[in-house]
Amino acid sequence: MENRTEISELGEFGLIDHLTKNFETYNVSTIESIGDDAAVMDHFGKQTVMTTDLLIEGIHFDLMYTPLKHLGYKSVIVNLSDVYAMNAQPTQITISLGITNRFSVEALSEFYEGVYAACEKYKVDLVGGDTSASQKGFIISVTAIGEVAPDQYIKRSTAQKGDLICVSGDLGGAFLGLTLLEREKKIYMENPKVQPDLEGEDYIVGRILKPEARKDIIEFFEKQDLRPTAMMDVSDGVSSEVLHLSRKAGLGCKVYEDKLPINEATRQAAFKFGLDPTVCALNGGEDYELIFTIRQEDHDKIVLNEEISVIGYMTDVEEGCKFLTKGGNTFDITAQGWKAF
Protein backbone atom coordinates (compact mmCIF):
# COMPACT_ATOMS: atom_id res chain seq x y z
CA MET A 1 0.00 0.00 0.00
CA GLU A 2 1.25 3.44 -0.82
CA ASN A 3 1.16 6.19 1.79
CA ARG A 4 -2.05 8.09 2.22
CA THR A 5 -1.81 11.58 3.62
CA GLU A 6 -5.15 13.12 4.57
CA ILE A 7 -5.70 16.62 3.21
CA SER A 8 -6.66 17.68 6.76
CA GLU A 9 -3.05 16.98 7.86
CA LEU A 10 -1.84 19.78 5.59
CA GLY A 11 -4.83 22.12 5.67
CA GLU A 12 -5.90 24.20 2.66
CA PHE A 13 -2.86 26.47 2.57
CA GLY A 14 -0.49 23.60 3.22
CA LEU A 15 -2.11 21.63 0.42
CA ILE A 16 -1.83 24.46 -2.12
CA ASP A 17 1.77 25.01 -1.08
CA HIS A 18 2.50 21.28 -1.36
CA LEU A 19 1.00 21.11 -4.85
CA THR A 20 2.54 24.27 -6.26
CA LYS A 21 5.81 25.03 -4.46
CA ASN A 22 8.28 23.61 -7.00
CA PHE A 23 6.72 25.10 -10.07
CA GLU A 24 8.83 27.62 -11.95
CA THR A 25 7.50 29.87 -14.67
CA TYR A 26 8.40 29.77 -18.36
CA ASN A 27 7.03 33.08 -19.70
CA VAL A 28 8.38 36.61 -19.29
CA SER A 29 4.75 37.76 -19.38
CA THR A 30 4.24 36.08 -15.98
CA ILE A 31 5.19 38.84 -13.57
CA GLU A 32 3.53 37.58 -10.38
CA SER A 33 2.39 33.96 -10.06
CA ILE A 34 0.85 31.87 -7.25
CA GLY A 35 0.86 33.32 -3.75
CA ASP A 36 -0.88 36.68 -3.87
CA ASP A 37 -4.52 37.75 -4.26
CA ALA A 38 -4.13 37.62 -8.03
CA ALA A 39 -1.49 36.86 -10.62
CA VAL A 40 -0.03 39.68 -12.70
CA MET A 41 0.70 39.40 -16.40
CA ASP A 42 2.12 41.85 -18.91
CA HIS A 43 1.69 40.94 -22.54
CA PHE A 44 3.96 43.65 -23.92
CA GLY A 45 1.76 45.06 -26.64
CA LYS A 46 0.12 41.77 -27.61
CA GLN A 47 -3.54 40.90 -27.39
CA THR A 48 -4.86 38.47 -24.79
CA VAL A 49 -7.18 35.53 -25.36
CA MET A 50 -8.83 33.77 -22.46
CA THR A 51 -10.85 30.58 -22.25
CA THR A 52 -12.22 28.34 -19.53
CA ASP A 53 -13.51 24.78 -19.26
CA LEU A 54 -15.29 22.88 -16.53
CA LEU A 55 -14.78 19.13 -16.07
CA ILE A 56 -17.11 17.23 -13.76
CA GLU A 57 -16.71 13.66 -12.56
CA GLY A 58 -19.39 11.40 -14.00
CA ILE A 59 -20.17 13.90 -16.78
CA HIS A 60 -16.82 14.56 -18.47
CA PHE A 61 -14.64 11.82 -17.02
CA ASP A 62 -14.87 8.51 -15.20
CA LEU A 63 -12.22 7.87 -12.56
CA MET A 64 -12.67 4.12 -13.01
CA TYR A 65 -10.58 4.20 -16.15
CA THR A 66 -8.97 7.63 -16.08
CA PRO A 67 -5.63 7.74 -14.24
CA LEU A 68 -5.34 11.00 -12.27
CA LYS A 69 -2.11 11.96 -13.97
CA HIS A 70 -3.80 11.69 -17.37
CA LEU A 71 -6.77 13.65 -16.10
CA GLY A 72 -4.49 16.47 -14.94
CA TYR A 73 -2.78 16.48 -18.31
CA LYS A 74 -6.00 16.44 -20.30
CA SER A 75 -7.62 19.17 -18.17
CA VAL A 76 -4.85 21.50 -19.29
CA ILE A 77 -4.76 20.29 -22.91
CA VAL A 78 -8.46 20.91 -23.62
CA ASN A 79 -7.96 24.56 -22.67
CA LEU A 80 -4.71 24.99 -24.60
CA SER A 81 -6.47 23.58 -27.65
CA ASP A 82 -8.99 26.45 -27.46
CA VAL A 83 -6.17 28.99 -27.25
CA TYR A 84 -4.37 27.53 -30.29
CA ALA A 85 -7.71 27.51 -32.11
CA MET A 86 -7.57 31.32 -31.88
CA ASN A 87 -4.08 31.27 -33.46
CA ALA A 88 -2.67 32.37 -30.09
CA GLN A 89 0.13 31.03 -27.86
CA PRO A 90 -1.03 29.93 -24.40
CA THR A 91 1.05 31.45 -21.62
CA GLN A 92 -0.76 31.06 -18.28
CA ILE A 93 -3.41 28.83 -16.70
CA THR A 94 -5.32 28.73 -13.44
CA ILE A 95 -6.82 25.57 -11.95
CA SER A 96 -9.70 25.43 -9.50
CA LEU A 97 -10.62 22.18 -7.82
CA GLY A 98 -13.59 20.82 -5.88
CA ILE A 99 -12.29 17.81 -3.96
CA THR A 100 -14.19 15.07 -2.12
CA ASN A 101 -12.76 13.37 0.97
CA ARG A 102 -12.04 10.33 -1.19
CA PHE A 103 -8.90 12.11 -2.37
CA SER A 104 -5.60 11.96 -0.54
CA VAL A 105 -2.72 14.39 -0.90
CA GLU A 106 -0.92 11.69 -2.92
CA ALA A 107 -3.85 11.41 -5.35
CA LEU A 108 -3.87 15.18 -5.90
CA SER A 109 -0.11 15.18 -6.34
CA GLU A 110 -0.57 12.66 -9.14
CA PHE A 111 -3.14 14.95 -10.76
CA TYR A 112 -0.66 17.83 -10.54
CA GLU A 113 2.09 15.67 -12.06
CA GLY A 114 -0.09 15.53 -15.16
CA VAL A 115 -0.79 19.27 -14.96
CA TYR A 116 2.92 20.04 -14.74
CA ALA A 117 3.79 17.65 -17.55
CA ALA A 118 1.42 19.59 -19.82
CA CYS A 119 2.77 22.93 -18.55
CA GLU A 120 6.31 21.82 -19.32
CA LYS A 121 5.53 20.46 -22.75
CA TYR A 122 3.58 23.55 -23.84
CA LYS A 123 5.60 26.03 -21.77
CA VAL A 124 2.66 27.53 -19.89
CA ASP A 125 2.71 28.81 -16.32
CA LEU A 126 0.27 27.77 -13.61
CA VAL A 127 -0.36 31.11 -11.93
CA GLY A 128 -3.21 30.40 -9.54
CA GLY A 129 -6.48 28.72 -8.84
CA ASP A 130 -8.86 27.93 -6.03
CA THR A 131 -9.40 24.88 -3.85
CA SER A 132 -12.58 23.81 -2.15
CA ALA A 133 -14.23 20.75 -0.68
CA SER A 134 -16.91 19.11 -2.82
CA GLN A 135 -19.71 16.94 -1.45
CA LYS A 136 -19.90 14.66 -4.40
CA GLY A 137 -17.59 14.21 -7.36
CA PHE A 138 -14.29 15.74 -8.38
CA ILE A 139 -14.69 19.13 -10.09
CA ILE A 140 -11.99 20.74 -12.20
CA SER A 141 -12.13 24.21 -13.72
CA VAL A 142 -9.21 25.38 -15.83
CA THR A 143 -8.79 28.84 -17.33
CA ALA A 144 -6.11 29.50 -19.93
CA ILE A 145 -4.73 32.79 -21.15
CA GLY A 146 -2.74 33.29 -24.31
CA GLU A 147 -1.17 36.03 -26.35
CA VAL A 148 -1.37 36.92 -30.00
CA ALA A 149 0.12 39.74 -32.07
CA PRO A 150 -2.44 42.56 -32.49
CA ASP A 151 -5.37 41.47 -34.69
CA GLN A 152 -3.74 38.17 -35.68
CA TYR A 153 -6.31 36.04 -33.87
CA ILE A 154 -8.55 33.88 -36.06
CA LYS A 155 -12.31 33.65 -35.59
CA ARG A 156 -14.78 30.90 -36.46
CA SER A 157 -16.98 33.12 -38.53
CA THR A 158 -14.74 34.48 -41.27
CA ALA A 159 -14.52 31.71 -43.89
CA GLN A 160 -15.15 32.79 -47.50
CA LYS A 161 -16.88 31.01 -50.34
CA GLY A 162 -14.43 28.71 -52.18
CA ASP A 163 -12.06 28.36 -49.18
CA LEU A 164 -10.66 24.89 -48.58
CA ILE A 165 -11.66 23.15 -45.35
CA CYS A 166 -8.67 21.51 -43.64
CA VAL A 167 -8.21 19.39 -40.51
CA SER A 168 -5.07 18.43 -38.63
CA GLY A 169 -4.17 14.88 -37.58
CA ASP A 170 -6.84 12.22 -37.76
CA LEU A 171 -10.39 11.79 -36.54
CA GLY A 172 -12.55 9.38 -34.57
CA GLY A 173 -9.78 7.81 -32.48
CA ALA A 174 -10.84 9.35 -29.18
CA PHE A 175 -14.43 8.18 -29.65
CA LEU A 176 -13.27 4.61 -30.26
CA GLY A 177 -10.91 4.77 -27.28
CA LEU A 178 -13.84 5.84 -25.12
CA THR A 179 -16.05 3.10 -26.58
CA LEU A 180 -13.39 0.53 -25.70
CA LEU A 181 -12.91 1.81 -22.14
CA GLU A 182 -16.68 1.90 -21.56
CA ARG A 183 -16.99 -1.66 -22.85
CA GLU A 184 -14.18 -2.91 -20.60
CA LYS A 185 -15.74 -1.09 -17.64
CA LYS A 186 -19.07 -2.82 -18.26
CA ILE A 187 -17.39 -6.22 -18.46
CA TYR A 188 -15.50 -5.49 -15.24
CA MET A 189 -18.64 -4.33 -13.41
CA GLU A 190 -20.38 -7.56 -14.37
CA ASN A 191 -17.40 -9.69 -13.41
CA PRO A 192 -14.58 -8.00 -11.46
CA LYS A 193 -12.34 -11.03 -11.97
CA VAL A 194 -12.01 -10.22 -15.67
CA GLN A 195 -9.06 -7.89 -16.20
CA PRO A 196 -9.43 -5.16 -18.82
CA ASP A 197 -8.15 -6.14 -22.23
CA LEU A 198 -6.59 -3.09 -23.88
CA GLU A 199 -3.98 -5.16 -25.72
CA GLY A 200 -2.94 -3.57 -29.01
CA GLU A 201 -5.28 -0.60 -28.57
CA ASP A 202 -2.66 1.94 -27.42
CA TYR A 203 -3.47 4.36 -30.20
CA ILE A 204 -7.19 4.83 -29.54
CA VAL A 205 -6.80 4.66 -25.74
CA GLY A 206 -4.07 7.30 -25.97
CA ARG A 207 -6.34 9.50 -28.10
CA ILE A 208 -8.98 9.64 -25.35
CA LEU A 209 -6.77 9.59 -22.24
CA LYS A 210 -3.80 11.64 -23.40
CA PRO A 211 -4.78 14.08 -26.13
CA GLU A 212 -2.37 16.74 -27.35
CA ALA A 213 -3.08 20.31 -28.46
CA ARG A 214 -1.92 21.27 -31.96
CA LYS A 215 0.79 23.79 -31.13
CA ASP A 216 2.75 22.45 -34.12
CA ILE A 217 0.05 23.53 -36.56
CA ILE A 218 0.04 27.12 -35.25
CA GLU A 219 3.82 27.20 -35.55
CA PHE A 220 3.56 25.81 -39.07
CA PHE A 221 1.20 28.67 -40.07
CA GLU A 222 3.71 31.15 -38.78
CA LYS A 223 6.64 29.54 -40.58
CA GLN A 224 4.69 29.33 -43.85
CA ASP A 225 3.33 32.83 -43.42
CA LEU A 226 -0.09 31.26 -43.86
CA ARG A 227 -3.18 32.85 -42.41
CA PRO A 228 -6.27 30.61 -42.24
CA THR A 229 -9.49 32.51 -42.91
CA ALA A 230 -11.34 30.82 -40.03
CA MET A 231 -10.47 28.26 -37.36
CA MET A 232 -11.77 26.29 -34.37
CA ASP A 233 -10.82 23.11 -32.54
CA VAL A 234 -12.52 19.77 -33.07
CA SER A 235 -14.00 18.93 -29.68
CA ASP A 236 -17.53 17.80 -30.63
CA GLY A 237 -16.88 16.04 -33.93
CA VAL A 238 -16.10 17.35 -37.38
CA SER A 239 -19.69 17.39 -38.64
CA SER A 240 -20.77 19.67 -35.83
CA GLU A 241 -17.71 21.91 -36.35
CA VAL A 242 -18.17 22.31 -40.13
CA LEU A 243 -21.75 23.35 -39.43
CA HIS A 244 -20.46 26.03 -37.03
CA LEU A 245 -17.94 27.29 -39.60
CA SER A 246 -20.65 27.39 -42.28
CA ARG A 247 -23.46 28.95 -40.26
CA LYS A 248 -21.27 31.59 -38.68
CA ALA A 249 -19.96 32.60 -42.10
CA GLY A 250 -23.41 32.43 -43.72
CA LEU A 251 -22.15 29.83 -46.20
CA GLY A 252 -22.64 26.18 -47.17
CA CYS A 253 -19.99 23.48 -47.48
CA LYS A 254 -19.08 20.21 -49.16
CA VAL A 255 -17.17 17.52 -47.28
CA TYR A 256 -15.84 14.36 -48.93
CA GLU A 257 -15.85 10.97 -47.22
CA ASP A 258 -12.71 9.80 -49.01
CA LYS A 259 -10.80 12.83 -47.73
CA LEU A 260 -11.49 12.26 -44.01
CA PRO A 261 -8.22 11.37 -42.25
CA ILE A 262 -8.72 8.16 -40.27
CA ASN A 263 -5.86 6.31 -38.62
CA GLU A 264 -5.56 2.59 -39.45
CA ALA A 265 -5.82 1.64 -35.75
CA THR A 266 -9.03 3.67 -35.52
CA ARG A 267 -10.44 1.99 -38.62
CA GLN A 268 -9.65 -1.50 -37.29
CA ALA A 269 -11.18 -0.69 -33.89
CA ALA A 270 -14.36 0.58 -35.58
CA PHE A 271 -14.73 -2.66 -37.53
CA LYS A 272 -14.16 -4.65 -34.33
CA PHE A 273 -17.07 -2.83 -32.67
CA GLY A 274 -19.28 -3.10 -35.73
CA LEU A 275 -19.17 0.67 -36.27
CA ASP A 276 -18.68 2.65 -39.45
CA PRO A 277 -15.28 4.43 -39.26
CA THR A 278 -16.70 7.34 -41.27
CA VAL A 279 -19.52 7.90 -38.77
CA CYS A 280 -16.98 7.74 -35.91
CA ALA A 281 -14.75 10.29 -37.65
CA LEU A 282 -17.66 12.65 -38.33
CA ASN A 283 -19.47 12.43 -35.01
CA GLY A 284 -16.93 11.24 -32.47
CA GLY A 285 -15.76 14.06 -30.21
CA GLU A 286 -12.67 14.90 -28.19
CA ASP A 287 -10.10 14.60 -30.96
CA TYR A 288 -8.75 18.09 -30.16
CA GLU A 289 -7.56 18.58 -33.70
CA LEU A 290 -7.84 21.93 -35.50
CA ILE A 291 -10.29 22.58 -38.32
CA PHE A 292 -9.62 25.65 -40.43
CA THR A 293 -10.27 27.18 -43.81
CA ILE A 294 -7.66 28.56 -46.21
CA ARG A 295 -7.84 30.42 -49.52
CA GLN A 296 -7.40 28.16 -52.55
CA GLU A 297 -4.22 29.97 -53.56
CA ASP A 298 -2.66 28.90 -50.23
CA HIS A 299 -3.09 25.22 -51.07
CA ASP A 300 0.57 24.88 -52.09
CA LYS A 301 1.62 25.93 -48.60
CA ILE A 302 -0.08 22.99 -46.90
CA VAL A 303 0.41 20.09 -49.36
CA LEU A 304 3.78 19.17 -47.89
CA ASN A 305 2.46 18.93 -44.33
CA GLU A 306 1.28 15.36 -43.81
CA GLU A 307 -0.49 16.42 -40.65
CA ILE A 308 -2.99 18.48 -42.64
CA SER A 309 -5.81 17.09 -44.82
CA VAL A 310 -8.14 19.03 -47.09
CA ILE A 311 -11.62 17.54 -46.52
CA GLY A 312 -13.81 19.86 -48.56
CA TYR A 313 -14.61 23.47 -49.36
CA MET A 314 -17.01 26.29 -48.55
CA THR A 315 -19.94 26.92 -50.91
CA ASP A 316 -22.86 29.31 -51.25
CA VAL A 317 -25.41 29.08 -48.45
CA GLU A 318 -28.06 27.95 -50.97
CA GLU A 319 -26.08 24.74 -51.58
CA GLY A 320 -26.43 23.70 -47.92
CA CYS A 321 -23.93 21.61 -45.96
CA LYS A 322 -23.36 18.39 -47.87
CA PHE A 323 -21.46 15.16 -47.31
CA LEU A 324 -20.37 13.20 -50.39
CA THR A 325 -19.80 9.48 -49.81
CA LYS A 326 -17.29 7.23 -51.55
CA GLY A 327 -20.25 5.63 -53.33
CA GLY A 328 -21.24 8.97 -54.85
CA ASN A 329 -24.27 9.68 -52.64
CA THR A 330 -24.93 13.07 -51.12
CA PHE A 331 -26.33 13.64 -47.62
CA ASP A 332 -27.12 16.70 -45.52
CA ILE A 333 -24.64 17.12 -42.70
CA THR A 334 -26.48 17.32 -39.38
CA ALA A 335 -25.25 18.15 -35.88
CA GLN A 336 -25.12 14.42 -35.12
CA GLY A 337 -23.25 14.06 -38.34
CA TRP A 338 -24.43 12.30 -41.35
CA LYS A 339 -27.67 10.35 -41.32
CA ALA A 340 -27.42 7.61 -43.91
CA PHE A 341 -31.00 6.43 -43.64
Task: For ligand ADP, give the closer residue by CB, 37 or 151.
Answer: 37
Task: Name which of 50, 40, 57, 161 is nearest 103 in CA terms.
Answer: 57
Check the annotation: does 338 bind a ligand: yes
For ligand ADP, which residue of 72, 129, 177, 237 counts as binding (CB under 6 A)? 129
Residue 129's H or E segment, with its range, is: strand 125-133
Least Å from the CB of residue 23 to ligand ADP: 9
174 burial type by CB count under 10 A (0-12 exposed, 13-18 middle, 19+ buried): buried
Question: Taking the mean position of all CA atoms in its chain, how far away is CA 113?
Answer: 19
Task: For ligand ADP, give the closer residue by CB, 6 or 36.
Answer: 36
Least Å from the CB of residue 236 to ligand ADP: 28
Least Å from the CB of residue 47 to ligand ADP: 24
For Mg ion, which residue of 130, 219, 222, 300 counts as binding (CB under 5 A)? 130
120 binds, among ligand ADP, Mg ion, none (CB under 5 to 8 A by kind): none
Residues in the chain: 341
97 vs 132: CA distance, rounded Å: 6
Q: Is 144 in the site for ligand ADP (CB under 6 A)?
A: no
Task: For ligand ADP, give the closer residue by CB, 129 or 228.
Answer: 129
Stretch that binds ligand ADP, among 32-40, 184-192, 223-231, 276-284 (CB under 6 A): 32-40
Contacts (Cβ under 8 Å, ≥6 apart) of 7:
15, 99, 101, 103, 104, 105, 108
Give the CA angle between residues 102, 105, 109 to the nearest 5°: 115
Q: Is 97 in the site for ligand ADP (CB under 6 A)?
A: yes
In the complex, the residues that contact Mg ion under the rule CB under 5 A are 130
